[in-house]
Structure 1
Amino acid sequence: MVVKKKAGSKAVGDRRNYRYYDLIMAAFVCVLLCSNLIGVSKVVTVAGFTFGGGNLFFPLSYLFGDILTEVYGYARSRRVVWAGFGAMIFASLMAWIVVTLPPAEGHAGQEALEQIFASTPRIVAASIFAYFIGEMTNSFILAKLKVRTEGRFLWLRTIGSTMGGEAIDSLLFYPLAFYGTWSNDLLLKVMLANYVIKVGWEVLATPLTYRIVSFLKKKEDEDYFDRDTNFTPFSLKV
């Protein structure tokens, strides 16, 4: 039997060790970096459906975010979002430095490296900003819905929070990154298609989400309710 724990039932700053929290954090950051480094600006068309190739797997980060908030609470999910934020900044900085460094005489891979990793500062800034706001929105909505529904209707919380978070992410990222460089028609088409894909991922993954959440709640003996949580995004406290 899983004991439902209310926010405030543990002392502020509690450093309880969880068996799987760090693994989920690592998986979250891995998915985030891969989806933002591999094909973020590539537009593909499959069966008449046009979307950004890099966003095919990006929704997995929201899946992990939902699981983290549902099991461990908003504050611990917020720490993971900040970890991803830091990882994205470092990856962008590293890519810029490596690409900018003058290649050695005879090195033939500079052009390919630039094509893959030389994202413009505009795209990098848009990606980081949209990610942070979108993920925080996702966690906030899920935490609030959990309290409102008293822990029932997990599907409503995961899908509802993803719809809100991904809407913010898409509405921020694509105009900030590509307005003026893509045609308005392509921009709207890709933005809408990516939103549908992201939410569709969450819907299809709902049975898997139920299994993972149930497993973690039992193994971690945790089912956190954010009744008294400070929802400021600018904190690392748990």
Structure 2
Amino acid sequence: MKSLRTHESIDYKMQLLLATFISCLLLGNLLGSKRIEIFGIVTSVGFFEYPLAFLITDIVVEVKGKEATKIFVNAGFLSLCIAFFFVSLSTGLSPSSTYYDNEAYTSVFSNSLRLIAGSLTAFFISQRYDIWVFSFLKHKTKDRYLWFRTNISTIVSQLIDSIIFMFLAFYRVTPEVNAVYILRMILPLWILKVGFSLLDTPLVYLGVRWLASENEKPGP
């Protein structure tokens, strides 16, 4: 009976993490067309959601392994494909004569379409790389040095994600957003992501201990 309760508890935790993971991906894309400044660095408001998504995959791959984490990545990819389809459908349908905000609606969500398309590519490549690097380092370190593994995998993966996403999502969205402008956005943005990755290291430990409770203990 205790074993059954433990299994149900772990499954419930995985469901919560999966729901949070997918929510971060969808919100990051649907809201991400707005650009803001953080410490003088221009970025998308989607910046807030994606570090959490990488944090979740690091927690899952540490406790449940590479194959379980691929389910998260595949589910996230599918959710973005579904979002792309329905955003395309919604913006393409002719509005009712009683709906007066179609121009604004189309403008906002057409930008989201480009963000989702860019995110689909960046997400799939960077997350697959993140899982591979984390698993490789986990094997090489014999399950030790979680702080090292999570930061190295996330830092490199975030750079890959930033380069692919920024060019696909924002290149020539306005005339001044050329290749040089994008590159100037990527470097400080990546440095900012590195800072957030280092800061959320304690959260990785907490998340691993929470998911691994009554199952297995995380490495030192």
Runs of at least 4 residues of structure 1 off by over 6 A? none
Contact 2:209 2:218 in 1 (8 A): no
Q: Which residue of 1 aligns with 2:5?
A: none
Q: Residue 213 and residue 120 in structure 1: after superposition, are their counterparts in 2 closer, same or farther (change >3 A)?
A: closer
Q: Could you tell me how far apart the structure 2 residues matched to 1:136 and 1:45 are?
A: 29
Equivalence map 1:62-211=2 (5 Å): 62-119=54-111, 122-181=114-173, 182-211=177-206
Q: CA offset at residue 120 of structure 1?
A: 7.0
Q: Could you tell me how far apart the structure 1 residues matched to 2:112 and 2:17 are?
A: 30
Q: Which residue of 1 aligns with 2:11?
A: 18
Q: Could you tell me how far apart the structure 2 residues matched to 1:90 and 1:44 are?
A: 27
Q: Could you tell me how far apart the structure 1 residues matched to 2:51 and 2:119 are?
A: 14
Give per-residue Cα distances to partners, 1:170-223, cap 9 Å, x unaligned.
Answer: 12122233334412332112212322232222211111211121122123x146
Q: Could you tell me how far apart the structure 2 residues matched to 1:23 and 1:215 are?
A: 12
Contact 1:123 1:177 in 2 (8 A): yes
**Does residue 1:32 correspond to 2:25, yes or no?**
yes
Q: Which amino acid aligns with 2:83?
A: A
Superposition TM-score, scaled by structure 1 size: 0.80
Q: Could you tell me how far apart the structure 2 residues matched to 1:105 and 1:121 are?
A: 24
Q: Could you tell me how far apart the structure 1 residues matched to 2:180 and 2:161 are?
A: 19
Q: Residue 120 and residue 71 in structure 1: after superposition, are their counterparts in 2 closer, same or farther (change >3 A)?
A: closer
Structure with greater contact order relative to length (CA < 8 Å, sep ≥ 6): 1
Q: Which amino acid aligns with 1:20?
A: K
Q: Could you tell me how far apart the structure 2 residues matched to 1:78 and 1:183 are?
A: 34
Q: Which amino acid aligns with 1:44?
A: I
Q: Residue 151 and residue 158 in structure 1: after superposition, are their counterparts in 2 closer, same or farther (change >3 A)?
A: same
Could you say what secondary structure the match of 2:36 adopts? strand
Q: Could you tell me how far apart the structure 1 residues matched to 2:149 and 2:49 are?
A: 21
Q: CA offset at residue 76 of structure 1?
A: 0.5
Point out where structure 1 has 5 or more consecutive residues left out of the alignment. 1-16, 226-238
Q: Residue 117 and residue 76 in structure 1: after superposition, are their counterparts in 2 closer, same or farther (change >3 A)?
A: same
Contact 2:84 2:117 in 1 (8 A): no
Q: Which residue of 2 aligns with 1:218?
A: 213
Q: Which amino acid aligns with 1:60?
A: L
Superposition TM-score, scaled by structure 2 size: 0.86
Compute the RMSD of aligned alpha carbons: 2.2
Contact 1:58 1:198 in 2 (8 A): no
Q: Which amino acid aligns with 1:84?
A: G
Q: Which residue of 2 aligns with 1:14?
A: none
Point out where structure 2 has 5 or more consecutive residues left out of the alignment. 1-9
Aligned residue-pair number: 208
